[in-house]
Every structure is written in structure tokens, then in C-alpha cells.
Structure 1
Amino acid sequence: MADNSLNPVPFSEPPYLRGLPSPYITPAHLRFQKACRKFIWDNLLQHALEWEREGTVPSHVFQTFSKHNMLLPNMPAPLPVDWLKRLGIHDILGVKVEDWDYIYTGIYCDELARSGLSGPSGSLTAGFAFGIPPIVKFGSRELQERFLPDLLTGKKRSCIAITEPEAGSDVANIVTTAVKSADGQHFIVNGSKKWITNGIWSDYTTMAVRTGGPGPGGLSVLVVPLQNQPGVTMRRLKVSGQITGGTTYIELDDVKVPVSNLVGKEGNGMRIIMTNFNHERLVISVGVTRQARVALSSAFAYCLKREAFGKTLMDQPVVRHRLAKAGAELETMWAWVEQILYQLCHLSKEESDRQLGGLTALAKAKSAMVLNECAQCAVLLFGGNGFTRTGQGELAEAILRDVPGARIPGGSEDVLLDLSVRQLVKIYQAQEKKLAQGSKI
């Protein structure tokens, strides 16, 4: 839908867009939502399914989004205001960059996923969401001066490269090496990175490498040039969903990278990588929840008109039961995501990492489970149409293929479930220790 008119189909919109009161959404947020929806529809979503079929989003789309500062919302809030103003960037569709908060981020990510497909939007966002933030947060002034002007304005593209063929969620065991040259002026990088979103189009990647011994203490982060760089070979991977996301295999054979491209300090790679994971998992959660909404509401609309056994599918109790179960999961998930977004607006980065890190990991895992429930529900209710890559059920079929792309990237589901509880236990133990000390006073 290009406009902001109310979609009457149940489960099609979050409560604040159905005219219900919200403790989180201000008039300013609503103004942005309207402008955001129009921009994204005009420049991406109206062609999203067509481009997903073709396998690639045209390059001019990235340029258009960059020109209007509409990739900056993928970065963690608050935005790097000083850098943006220095580059002549003062607002995003009327929202001053200094006023940007995580509620705006949530609105943007929700609108970006409105097609129901993660590939088209994913073809644009990975650099700003995951590649640039480590440079902003940990890069030296000299490193920032060399890279941020072109990256923040979209003149150059970037991505994040952590995952390897044998090390995905197990970040501490990556094996790509970066060894200093004899003259100490370069790192010589050897290894491979796999399943790298946007890699094929990226000029640079923020890459996790091993500069020291085994384990997390041996990891560092480098900005590695990709396009036309001697020793770098890239090829696109065929994946089941997110077709347009540019999933890439990168091979590195004696690639020379200046030592000045080191992000932060040598050996601090694990901390740098982990710092942005909360943001990555949260924006995934928002987009995935919108995908679930699209799948379920499209099935709901279909059930209202499709007839079987002399009545509509909606007149069948078993169908209503299936929709109700999925709908309850969906609306519960959205309420939780909104709650986390609001909390991030009112906590320091240090406090939010401590209090919300485990919960954000859990929310990301749960959002993918909810997507799986809603997508399977939709495909089953569409019947044969949901099994076909054309026609009425085409979108539901495509969303179901996207499900593994929600359950695996950003931390695989089982890893995040375990991580979330371990983090909560840590908080418990710290609080218990504090209480015990207080009782001795």
C-alpha cells in the first residue's frame, strides 16, 4: 500500500497505525511514518516482488536512498550527529538527526519490511547497520577521516564480514589470519568469509580477523578493501530466501591491508563485534515481525473470500483456530519489540547492553519463531496456492523461504536462546552479590 489509509484486515498493522492509543508514538513519529512509507513505497516496495524474482535490486535504488539520507536510519541511535552535520546532513525526511531515537528506527525498519520480503531491503542496509558502526564507535580519527565521508553519504558501499565456512555464531573461533608484513606497514590477510550480505557490491568490508593466538583475545577488526583489490575473489551464493540480498563468498589470498586500517586496538576484535550485535538483532526482530504480519494478514484476507465445502475458509473453526494462535504470537512479539525500542530511548548504552543484551538476543530468536509460525500458517491456508511461486500465494511462499534467513543470521536461534539465559544468570548473580554485600553493612 502506497498511502497511509487504514488496512481493515486483522493483523495487518501494529496498534498505533490502527488508531489505537500508544504510549510510545508521538505526533512527530507519526509524521515521519507517513513520509517514510511514501518514500519507501515509491522507491523500493512497489517493485520489491519483481526485483526479488529477478534476483537483484537495481543499483540506482541504493543511490536514491543515499541521496535522501534514507539509509542512515539503519545505524544505531543516537546517530553520529557531529559527523553528519559536518557532511551537510541535518535531517531525515524532516526529522533532525539530533532528535533521532530508537522509536524512529523501529518505524523505519517496520516500513522497510512492508513488502514481506527481507531481500530487497537487505540489499541496501547491511553496510549502514553493521559495517559502518564499528568505525564510528572504535575507529581512530585518522581512520574515520579516510572512510566515513564516503560511507555515510553512500559514495562507497560497505558490509560486515565475520562468518566463515567453519565459524558462524562461534565468532571466537574464526581462522582468517592477518599477519604483519616484515616492514610492519601492512597486514597480510588470508582466509575466507561466507554468507556475507551485500559483499558482492561492497567497496570495503569491516572484517573480523585473527591477529593473535586462539580464542577471543586473538581477534581484531580491519577495514579491508574488496573491489579490484589484489588477492580478493568474490562470488554470489545461491540461497533459498533473501535472493536479492547479495549473499557472497569472499576468498582472501595474501591481501595487503594497511595497518592504519585497524579498527580500535589489536586484540579487541571480540568486544568490537559484540558491541553491535544488540543493534543487529533488534533491527532484525522488527523487520521479521513485519514479515510475519504480512504473511498472516494476507492469509486472513484470503480466508475471507476463498470457499471450500460450501462456505468460506473463515467459516471453518479449524481455520479460525490456526489464525488465532499465530495472531496471538504476532501481536505479543510486536508489543515486546516496541517495549525494547522504548527502553533503549531511556537507557545509556552501557546500561542497555547490560540489561537488554540477553533479552534482545531472546527477542531476535523469538521473532524468527513467530515468523515461522505465521509463514507456515499462511502457506497451509493458501493450500496449493501457497506451494506455488506465482499467483495468489506467491508472497506467502516467498516469505516461508525467508524463514531460515531470520533464524540463522545475527546469531543462530539455539545459540541465542542459550546466550539469553546465560546473560540473565549473570545479571542475577551480580545483583545477588550486591544484595549480599549490602546486608553485611
Structure 2
Amino acid sequence: MNSMYFTEEHNLFRKSLQDFLQKEVVPHIENWEKQGRIDRFIWRKFGDMGFFGINYPEAYGGMNLDLFYTIILQEELQKINSGGFAAAIWAHVYLAMTHLNAEGSETIKQNYLVPSIAGDKIGCLCITEPSGGSDVASMLTTAVKNGDHYLVNGSKTFITNGIYSDYLVVAAKTNPELGNKGMSIFVVDRETPGITATKLDKLGWRASDTAEIAFDNVKIPIANILGEENQGFGYIMQHFSLERLVMGVNAHARAEYALEYALQYMSERKAFGKSINEFQALRHSIADLYSDMEICKAFNYSVTYRLSKGDYVVKEATMSKLKSTKMADEVIYQCLQFLGGYGYMENYPMARLWRDSRLGPIGGGTSEILREILAKIIIDKKEYKPAT
């Protein structure tokens, strides 16, 4: 393991996490993949182990550890071969909870962040809309102030944890005339009248619940706003760096897992009297794929280091997601090919890996959107600045 970034304490944490996942999670993965949801008991076990509070303040039950512990969590979640389970965990911890911690009032933190760290409440983040996709600024959902509450109307889609979560972090236009400068964010209890959720059937990530959510005159107390009114777009942009970096790390980790599995298989598989890892064409292909994975991993670690020091890494995190997810798709596609017919069988890991990986260049901002963001930064000299 790279000692430039990982200490002995990091390595001990990784080993403890690996043991926990093998004992408490792996035995249930096949069932969760089939039933399309994750049993609630595992959330509390994650909370008891402190995994939800890795980089959150101790005052709310967290451990306030550095960002590389988060990287370890993401890497190891990718290596139990359930992109859906991994997605459900990080959507809770690094999408919903990030906003609670950064923008939530003390009351909100006590009511939502504390039980989220403990594993007693599950959250989801509701930004993407059926008509908007990656175009966050074109959001149509509205929140109109009415006395001591807001009335929310609109719909969201592709929401991870959208069915079984206990609360929703929702973005809506509080002043539509201002465009993206008129957006706010709220936390909403699942049982609030007017919220309906419809489960979506997906190619991959089958263990996670993904939903389209409708809001019909949903009353949200004014006290449930996160941060300041009309500042939501800035908050969302601020946290996209972490989301994109997490997805880049996820990508290099699943590519590494695929390569390790393929290498083991190739050392045991015989053809024409020798192991297939002795054929030059396959050996050279492995060399190229492994190099691509290692380059992405090294870059992702460097971006993590800069983010942990407080740098605003929107450009670098965008590059991380763009290049790492593309690399992972290519690596896993080729690793499936190395397994031949067995790669196409569901009782081998590559078929699920390939399905789950394909969401990488789509979710959290499509590759096309990321390229346009980078083009604006590189060509047009556009500057993205932290929310104040």
C-alpha cells in the first residue's frame, strides 16, 4: 500500500473493514441483489462500527478521521462485488449526510445527522429531475413560502435510497426568476404527506433501491431549510467535488478488483497445454490495463490529498470521475473477455461487475457534461469558486 498517503493506522483500519465486510455483508449480497433492497440490520451494524461517521465531527458521534479513511471505505466496498450495496452506503454518507453536516442547523444535526451516523436513519439526496438530467440549473421543482412552511411541488428521478430512506435532502427553486441563483435545499421526513416514490428497474446496482419521487404540495417547516435561502446551487456545486472524487475512487477500485480476479483465473485456466497467462497477447493486454488503472489510482490519491488540505479541486475531481470511470469500463469489459464463456455467466463476478460499472460514466454527471465543464475551465478560463 502507498505509504505516501496511508499510515499503519490506515492499514489496520482497512484490515478491520475487510474482516467486517466478509463476515457481516458478503453472506447477504446475493439475497440483496435478488430482492432489490438491503435489509435494515446492516445499517445499524455499520453505525455501531463507526463507518458512517469516519469524517464527521465527534460532537455528533463521528470519528473526525482524515479523508484517506473514506478512500479505504470506498475501495473495499467495491471489492465485495455489489455496486448497488456500495452505492446505497455512499449515497447516504457522502450525498445526504454531507449537506446535513455542512449546511444543517444544530437542530437538524441533532435530529438527522446524529441518527444517520448511528445507522438509525437512512438518507437520500434528491437533485436530478426527469426533464433535466445533469442540467441542475434547469430544475423545475419549486418550494413556495407559505406562512411557517414551504410548499414543495415537482419530481425527482434516479434517486439512490429513494424508496427505503427515512429522510430526503431535496433541492427546489425558491425563487425561479433567479434561475440557479434561486435554489434552496431542505431536509424532509419520508412520512410527510404528499411524497410518493416509485421504484425503478435497473440494468445494474440491483441491490440498491432507486426511485422516481413526486412531491405534491408537501409542507416543509421553514426550520428544515439547509443553509440560506437561494444559496442551494452553490452548496450543490461545492459538494460535487467530493461526489465525483468518490466515483473516481470507486472506479479504480472495481477495476483493480476485476484485474485481480482475472489474473487469478488466468493463472489456473489451461489452454493448449499451458496457463492462459503465458500467452503474449493476453500478457500485454494485462500490462496495458493494469497501467491505466494504476495511473488513475495515483491521480485519485493526489486529488484526495489536495481536497483534504482544503484545496478547491472541482477541475481535478471532474477529471478523476471522467477518466477513471471510462478506464474501469474498459478494464472490466476486457477482463470479462479473459474469462471467455465463464465471464458471461452470472455465477462468476464479471457479469455483475460489468453491469454495475456501466453507471459510472452516467451517474453524478455524465461524461459529456464533465467534458463540457472541463472545456469551460481549460478553454474559456471559467473559474469555479467555493460557496461563501
**TM-score surpassing 0.5?**
yes
In structure 2, the partner of 1:259 is 222
In structure 2, the partner of 1:7 is none
Alignment counterpart, residue 314 of structure 1, candidates 265, 277, 280? 277
1:134 aligns with 2:96: no
Q: Residue 166 of structure 1 aligns to a residue in which SS?
A: coil
Alignment counterpart, residue 34 of structure 1, candidates 9, 12, 15? 15
CA change 1:188–1:51 in 2 (3 A) is same
Q: Please give the residue correspondences for 1:110-129 in structure 2 after superposition, counting only pairs within 5 Å.
A: 110-129=75-94
1:225 aligns with 2:206: no
1:365 aligns with 2:322: yes
Contact 2:244 2:318 in 1 (8 A): yes
1:144 aligns with 2:98: no
Q: CA–CA distance in 2 between the matches of 1:276 and 1:330? A: 25
In structure 1, the partner of 2:266 is 303
Q: CA–CA distance in 2 between the matches of 1:127 and 1:117? A: 16
- Report the Cα offset of residue 197 of structure 1: 0.3
Q: CA–CA distance in 2 between the matches of 1:38 and 1:311? A: 35
Q: Please give the residue correspondences for 1:37-116 in structure 2 after superposition, counting only pairs within 5 Å.
A: 37-73=18-54, 77=55, 79-84=56-61, 97-98=63-64, 100-116=65-81
1:336 aligns with 2:299: yes
Alignment counterpart, residue 237 of structure 1, candidates 174, 195, 200? 200
- Report the Cα offset of residue 229 of structure 1: 2.4
Q: CA–CA distance in 2 between the matches of 1:325 and 1:332? A: 11
1:246 aligns with 2:200: no
- Report the Cα offset of residue 171 of structure 1: 0.4
In structure 2, the partner of 1:409 is 363
**Bigger mean CA deviation after superposition, 301-310 or 59-68:** 301-310
Q: CA–CA distance in 2 between the matches of 1:199 and 1:299? A: 34
How many correspondences in the alignment? 383
Q: Residue 339 of structure 2 aligns to a residue in which SS?
A: helix
Amino acid of the residue matched to residue 220 of structure 2? V
Point out where structure 1 has 5 or more consecutive residues left out of the alignment.
1-15, 90-96, 431-441
Q: CA–CA distance in 1 between the matches of 2:255 and 2:358? A: 13
**Could you give the per-residue CA deviations for residues 276-325 of structure 1, whole angstroms, max 9, x where no partner exists?**
11111112222221111111221222222223344332232222222122
CA change 1:47–1:142 in 2 (3 A) is closer
Q: CA–CA distance in 1 between the matches of 2:111 and 2:38? A: 28
Q: Residue 199 of structure 1 aligns to a residue in which SS?
A: coil
- Report the Cα offset of residue 161 of structure 1: 0.5
Q: CA–CA distance in 2 between the matches of 1:265 and 1:169? A: 23
CA change 1:303–1:152 in 2 (3 A) is closer
- Report the Cα offset of residue 54 of structure 1: 3.9
Contact 1:110 1:287 in 2 (8 A): yes
CA change 1:326–1:53 in 2 (3 A) is farther
CA change 1:198–1:429 in 2 (3 A) is closer
Percent identity (aligned): 30
In structure 1, the partner of 2:349 is 395
Q: CA–CA distance in 1 between the matches of 2:342 and 2:172? A: 46
Alignment counterpart, residue 272 of structure 1, candidates 208, 231, 235? 235
Q: Please give the residue correspondences for 1:161-200 in structure 2 after superposition, counting only pairs within 5 Å.
A: 161-181=126-146, 184-200=147-163
CA change 1:203–1:334 in 2 (3 A) is same
CA change 1:288–1:429 in 2 (3 A) is closer
Contact 2:199 2:210 in 1 (8 A): yes
Alignment counterpart, residue 173 of structure 2, candidates 210, 228, 252? 210
- Report the Cα offset of residue 50 of structure 1: 4.5
Q: CA–CA distance in 2 between the matches of 1:115 and 1:141? A: 36
**Could you give the per-residue CA deviations for residues 359-385 of structure 1, whole angstroms, max 9, x where no partner exists?**
111101111111111111111111111
CA change 1:330–1:204 in 2 (3 A) is same
- Report the Cα offset of residue 162 of structure 1: 0.3
Q: Residue 40 of structure 1 aligns to a residue in which SS?
A: helix
Q: CA–CA distance in 2 between the matches of 1:328 and 1:249? A: 39
- Report the Cα offset of residue 424 of structure 1: 4.6
Amino acid of the residue matched to residue 217 of structure 1? K
CA change 1:68–1:315 in 2 (3 A) is closer
- Report the Cα offset of residue 125 of structure 1: 3.1
Q: Residue 178 of structure 1 aligns to a residue in which SS?
A: strand
- Report the Cα offset of residue 25 of structure 1: 1.7
Contact 2:265 2:339 in 1 (8 A): yes
**Bigger mean CA deviation after superposition, 306-315 or 240-249:** 306-315
Amino acid of the residue matched to residue 277 of structure 1? F
The two structures, once aligned, show a CA RMSD in angstroms of 2.1
Q: CA–CA distance in 2 between the matches of 1:117 and 1:304? A: 25
- Report the Cα offset of residue 241 of structure 1: 0.8
Contact 1:117 1:291 in 2 (8 A): no
Q: Residue 207 of structure 2 aligns to a residue in which SS?
A: helix
* Divergent runs of 4+, >4 A: 424-430
Q: CA–CA distance in 1 between the matches of 2:210 and 2:117? A: 22
Point out where structure 2 has 5 or more consecutive residues left out of the alignment.
none
Contact 1:45 1:114 in 2 (8 A): no
Q: CA–CA distance in 2 between the matches of 1:141 and 1:81? A: 14
